[in-house]
Amino acid sequence: MPAPTDHIGLRIAAARKAKRLTQADLARASYLSLSEIKKIEQARRTPSDNALESIAAALGVDATRLERGHTGTERRVHAALSTISQSIAGYDIDVMVPRRGLLELRAAISEAVNWRLGAQYGLIARHVPDLLADTLALLHTTDGAERQQAARLVAAAARTADALAYKYGARDLSARLIELMRWADGHLGDPLLTMCVAYVRTETFFQARAHTAGLRALEAAVDAAPACGTAEAKACRGALHMRAAVIAGRSEDAAAAELHLAEARRLGDAVPEGSYLGTAFGPESVRIHEVSVAVSLGPDHVDRAFAVAESWSPSVDLPAERRSGFWIELARAQLWGGRMNDAFDSLRTARAIAPQHTREHPWARETAGTLLRLRRTDEESLTRFAAWTGAV
C-alpha cells in the first residue's frame, strides 16, 4: 500500500532536506533512534507529541509547521488552565452527578499520575479538567470507605493539574489546587496523604522564595508524621526529608541540608525505587537530590554535583520528569564550573528525556540563555535550543 500523500512524515522529510540533514543527523539532534525517524518519514509510524516536539526543535521549526492542526502543547495547556479553574471554583459544593464510578476513576487517575511523572503535559491538559470534575462529584455523593477513596482521588487529580499550573506559571491556580489537596485530605485523615500534601505545598515556598518558612513547614510535617511501619510510610517520610534538604540548601543552611539528606538516604535505602502516592522515591531519587542540594547551595558546591555525575547517572526506569530534572540541574552546575560544552550536552539530554518539562523549566531557559551570551559552545545549535526554550 503506498504511503499517504499528506502524512506528517513527508513534511518532516522535506524540512530535514531543506536543512541539509541526513536521517542520521536528525536522529542524533532529536535524540530519537534512526529506525524511528525512518518509520516516521515512511509513514509507518505517527510521532507522539514528545517525538514531534523533539523533531521540531532539532529542525528549528514550530511543531505546527510539521503537523497541520497541531495546537502545540503550550497552547493546549494554556487553554486547559481556565477549564481547570472552572472545574474547582465550587469544589466544596455538590453541583453534578458523577459520570464515572470509583473503579473507572481510579484507573484513570493512575494513568494521569503516570503522565505527570512522565512529563506528558499535553495529555494532562486534555483529560485533567474532567478528572477534577468527576472526582469531586464522586466525593460529594459517596460516604464511608468509598468517600475516603474518593478524597484520595481528588487529591491526586489536583496534584496532576498542579503540574500544569505550576510549571506553566499559573501560580495563583497552583496555590488553589494545593488548597484543594489540603481540603480533600481533611475528608480522609490519612497521615500518608497529609505528608504528600506537605511535599507538594513546598512549591508555594519555592515560588515565594520563602525558603526558611518552607523548611519549617516540612520539618513540622516530619515531626507530625506517624512511625514508618510500611514501605509507603518510609517513602512518604523520606520524600519530605529529600525536599527539606533542597529548600534548606536554598536558604543557605548547609547543616540542615546535610541532615535531611542523610535521613532521606537512610530511608531511601530501606525501600525499592518506585512511585509512592504519586511521588518518586528510592535510592536513585535521593541521589538525584544530592545534585539538587549541591546546586541549591550555590556555585561553591558544584564539585559535589560533579562527584555524583562522574560515577552515576539516572537509570531509564526512573520517571522522565525526574531524570530530566537531574540533567537540567547538572547543566547549571556545569555552567558555574566553566564546563560550557558539558552544560549544553546536559540540556540536550534533558530535552531528549522530557522535552515538555525541559522547555518550561526556568533553569533550562536561564542556562541556555547564559551559554548563548557567553558564546562558548556550538553557536548554531545553541541558538536553536535557546529559541526553543524562549530564552531569546
Report whether pLDDT(22) > 90: yes
Report whether pLDDT(65) > 50: yes
- Which pLDDT score, from 0 to 100, does residue 354 have? 85
Secondary structure of residue 280 in the 3-state scheme? strand
Instruction: Give pLDDT tens digits for 9-21.
Output: 999 999 999 889 9
Q: Percent of the chain having pLDDT more than 90?
A: 68
Task: Scan for cell 517520610, then name that residue.
Answer: 237
Domain ranges of the chain: 1-70, 71-187, 190-312
pTM for this model (two decimals): 0.82
Task: Name the DSSP class of 93.
Answer: S
Q: What is the 3-state secondary structure (H, E, C) of 1-23?
A: CCCCCCCHHHHHHHHHHHCCCCH
pLDDT top residue among 185 and 380? 185
Q: What single string gives the DSSP state of each residue in 217-240? A: HHHHHHHHSPP--SHHHHHHHHHH
Instruction: Give pLDDT tens digits for 167-198.
Output: 999 999 999 999 999 999 987 778 999 999 99
- Which pLDDT score, from 0 to 100, does residue 5 have? 59
- Give the torsion sign (CA, 283, 284, 286, 291): positive
Residue type at position 305: A
Average pLDDT, the chain: 90
Report whether pLDDT(1) > 50: no
Mean pLDDT over 336-349 rounds to 94
Helix (H) or strand (E) holding 276: strand 274-276
Distance CA 63, CA 35 (A): 21
Task: Name the DSSP class of 311.
Answer: H
CATH superfamily of 1-70: lambda repressor-like DNA-binding domains (1.10.260.40)
Report whether pLDDT(248) > 80: yes
pLDDT band at 326 (very low <50, low <70, confident <90, very high): very high
- Which pLDDT score, from 0 to 100, does residue 120 have? 85
Report whether pLDDT(4) > 60: no
- Which pLDDT score, from 0 to 100, does residue 30 have? 81
Count of alpha carbons within 13 angstroms of residue 219, beta-carbon side:
15
The answer to whether 391 and 372 have CB atoms below 8 angstroms apart is yes
Report whether pLDDT(265) > 50: yes
Which value, to the nearest 10 degrees, does the dihedral of the CA atoms of residues 78, 84, 90, 92 take? Answer: -140
Report whether pLDDT(373) > 60: yes
Distance CA 241, CA 262 (A): 9
Report whether pLDDT(387) > 50: yes
* Residue closest to 346 by CA, chosen among 301, 300, 295: 295
